[in-house]
A and B are shown apart, each in its own frame.
Chain A
């Protein structure tokens, strides 16, 4: 299908973008990478009056270590993140997830901020942000604010973003020697949205794992923490963690809830192994 008619404008500054958003509210959509938005326009699942192209806004695509954090600009493209030395060194969980996001042609356009704002429950990056305990910088006509990933994903495609706001950057704690991460997903075709996926982070205390965060995707309306399994894994017992898995996935077109629950256990064993490996 073809998109319904809409008007298009290219914002040159952040201020211009949020001013336009405030004026048009829900009648407008921000166009970042467009890899989900244009698909929904083509399918006429979305028919805004105005597209505000934010690709021309400068200084929104940087990737840098800032103190104890890694900051990723909202317009950083997946391919740019995938090949970033800063990400490889200081955000290894995101580096592990990147090759699973879509396909090369999609990663050349899709943006980090777009993926977080869209908040597809089966997408990799929202789960990574949750697993890492990251935070999201938001700008609106009424000023700027920062929201923790723990409080950002509210429901199915629903986030803490208000209609007149946009994401400007995300931050995750920079990895150090004690950081452990793990990532695995099961998809019918490499690059497709996952049936079930798991992004995880922890710290190695020398005696075992602490601060275990297991963020599943594809199992609910948002990325979901499996907190009972986290506690079991902190005790070093993968079998107990699988038994303790506190997830209740619904059936969807990809698999039944029962299958997803089983696969979540399979992924947990794989990821537990990654978390317990010593890093070189």
Chain B
């Protein structure tokens, strides 16, 4: 059966959520408008800017290029969840210390993308590797150097702690 509105059940930041959503609602609009999780930002709405980056079943995705109905049964993690769990506390501290955010609009997406790199990295990534991995996230304040500095510092810090 096809429908313009569907019931979905998913886990968002470790909490079970059951809602009826329009088929056309994107994941990021669902998170912001239905769940009031406004940390994920809506920028370009066509997959270019990365401001809406969230994790679905452990992998980063564009929140504007997935429909909420596609997340039925999935586990979604937003910046609110990543922040509350302490998983990225060191990244957040480094961003603050190194002034790696100015207006802050891109920051939730930057943090999610950076954590994705650091979580998978078997060794400290080079600055080029960091830039490559963050290439899908725009910072229109253009503070890229500070962002790469922060991610590199955390990568080195975590490697020492291992």
Show the binding face of A for B, using Cβ within 8 Å.
1-9, 31, 34-35, 38-39, 41-43, 50-51, 53, 55, 79, 99, 102-106, 108-109, 189-191
Contact = CB atoms under 8 A, between A and B. Distances in A.
Contact of B46 (A4, A6, A42, A191): A42
A183 to B, nearest CB: 16
A116 to B, nearest CB: 18
User: Which residue of A79, A105, A191 has the most chain B CB atoms within 10 A of its CB atom?
Assistant: A105
A254 to B, nearest CB: 14
Nearest to A53: B70
Q: Top 6 A-B pairs ranked by shortest CB distance?
A: A103-B136, A8-B23, A9-B2, A39-B46, A7-B2, A3-B24
A6 B24 contact: yes
Interface string B66-110: 110110000000000000000000000000000000000000000
B26 A5 contact: no
Interface in B93-141: 113, 116-117, 131-133, 135-137
B53 interface: yes
Nearest to A28: B2
B135 A189 contact: yes
Given A4-B24, A53-B69, 14 more contacts: A3-B26, A5-B22, A9-B3, A31-B67, A34-B67, A42-B26, A42-B45, A103-B137, A105-B60, A105-B61, A105-B62, A106-B136, A109-B61, A190-B131
Contacts of B45: 1-2, 39, 42-43
Interface string B33-71: 000000000000111001001000001111011110110
A31 B26 CA distance: 13
A34 B24 CA distance: 13
B149 to A, nearest CB: 19
A191 B136 contact: yes
Given A5-B24, A8-B3, A104 B69 contact: no
Interface size range on B against A: 20 to 34
Nearest to B53: A105
Nearest to A79: B59
A99 B135 CA distance: 11
A54 to B, nearest CB: 11
B162 to A, nearest CB: 23
A189 B47 CA distance: 14
A109 B137 CA distance: 16
B151 to A, nearest CB: 14
Contact of B67 (A38, A43, A105, A189): A38
18 contacts: A5-B4, A5-B23, A7-B2, A9-B3, A38-B65, A39-B47, A39-B64, A51-B23, A53-B69, A53-B70, A55-B70, A102-B136, A103-B135, A103-B137, A104-B60, A106-B47, A106-B65, A109-B61
B152 interface: no
A7 B4 contact: yes
A38 B23 contact: no
B56 to A, nearest CB: 8
A126 B131 CA distance: 27
A108 B60 contact: yes
Contacts of A9: 1-3
A6 B133 CA distance: 34
A2 B113 CA distance: 24
Nearest to B27: A38
Nearest to B135: A190
Contacts of A106: 47, 62, 65, 136
A103 B131 CA distance: 11
Contact of B113 (A1, A3, A50, A105): A105
B159 interface: no
A6 B23 contact: yes
User: Which residue of A43, A53, A109 has the most chain B CB atoms within 10 A of its CB atom?
Assistant: A109
